Amino acid sequence: MGVPRAITFQTQDSLTLAATALIGGIFSIWGAIVAGIFQQGVPFLFQAQWGINPNFVLIIFGAGLLQVLLTAPGGLADQLPKDLARLWGLVVSRVREQAAAERKAP
């Protein structure tokens, strides 16, 4: 990889780095970890594993950035625990409703 130099560190790389930092979340260390995984994992999956055009990865980053800016200003690291808590609440309420329905019906 080496040291980033002005010649080798292109504008596209800078924009991708900024987008992944915002997607992961800039307010916590977990956001940096999510951003690093996202930045290294998505291109690897799309290019090396699935053979998809590298320009499509930029579309994925753009869609992810748009989603985060519109719905989760704290990034995925902030949004994911809240979404999991909501999901758990829905599961628990459905189980309770099912149990109550079974008790009522003989």
Q: What is the pLDDT of residues 29-70, one digit of tens each?
A: 988 998 999 888 888 888 888 888 878 888 888 888 898 889
Q: pLDDT value at position 55?
A: 81
At 96, is the pLDDT very low, low, confident or very high (cuts 50, 70, 90)? very high
Mean per-residue pLDDT over the chain, rounded: 86
Of residues 49 and 4, the one with the higher pLDDT is 49
């998505």: which residue's tokens?
42
Has residue 10 got a pLDDT over 80?
Answer: no
The C-alpha torsion from 90 through 75 and 20 to 27, rounded to 10°, is: -140
93 in the Ramachandran plot: left (φ > 0), alpha (ψ -120 to 50) or beta?
A: alpha
* Distance between CA atoms of residues 76 and 27, nearest Å: 11
Q: Please answer whether residues 78 and 25 qualify as being in contact, where contact means their C-beta atoms are separated by less than 8 angstroms.
A: yes
Residue 50, phi then psi, degrees to nearest 5: -105, -10
